[in-house]
Structure 1
C-alpha cells in the first residue's frame, strides 16, 4: 500500500510539472494535466494515505473534549458533584 501511494504521488506531481512545461499553444492540454495531477493528489493519494495511517487508532483520542484538553494542559480531571 505504501508503494502504491508513493507511485500515485510521484505520477501526480509529474503530471502537474509536465502541464506547466507545455507551450502556450497547448493550453487546454496543459490545464488537463495540471487538473488531473491535482485531482489525483487530493482525491486518491491523500485519502489512501489517511486510511493507511489511521488504521487501529481511536478517534476519541484525537477529539478536543474537555477531558482531553485538561490532559494536555496537565490539570487534574474535573470532579462531578455525585462523586
Structure 2
C-alpha cells in the first residue's frame, strides 16, 4: 500500500511540475489533474493507511483521557 501511495504521489507532483514547465495547450489540465489526484486519491489513501489499525477513542478528549493526561503531567513535574 505504501508503494502505491508513493507512486501516486510522485505521479501527481510530476503532473503538476510538467504543467508549469511545459508550454502545452493542456498544461492547466495537467496541473488540475495533479492537484485533484493529490487531494481526492492520495490523501484519503494515506489517511486510511495510517489510521486503519488505530482506535479513534484513544485520540478523543474524553473525561478518562483528560484524567490520564493530568496524571502524566503531575508525574512529570515530580
In 1, the alpha carbon distance for the partners of 2:46 and 2:39 equals 10
TM (norm. structure 2) is: 0.79
In 1, the alpha carbon distance for the partners of 2:33 and 2:69 equals 41
2:29 aligns with: 32
Please list every run of 5 or more consecutive structure 2 residues that lacks an aligned counterpart in the other structure.
73-78
Please list every run of 5 or more consecutive structure 1 residues that lacks an aligned counterpart in the other structure.
76-83
Higher-helix-fraction structure: 2
Aligned with 1:70 (options 46, 67, 71): 67
2:76 aligns with: none
Q: Is residue 19 from structure 1 mapped to residue 16 from structure 2 by the alignment?
A: no
Q: Runs of 4+ in structure 1 displaced over 3 angstroms?
A: none
In 2, the alpha carbon distance for the partners of 1:65 and 1:31 equals 46
Equivalences, count: 72
Taking only aligned residues, the RMSD between alpha carbons, in angstroms, comes to 1.7
2:3 aligns with: 3
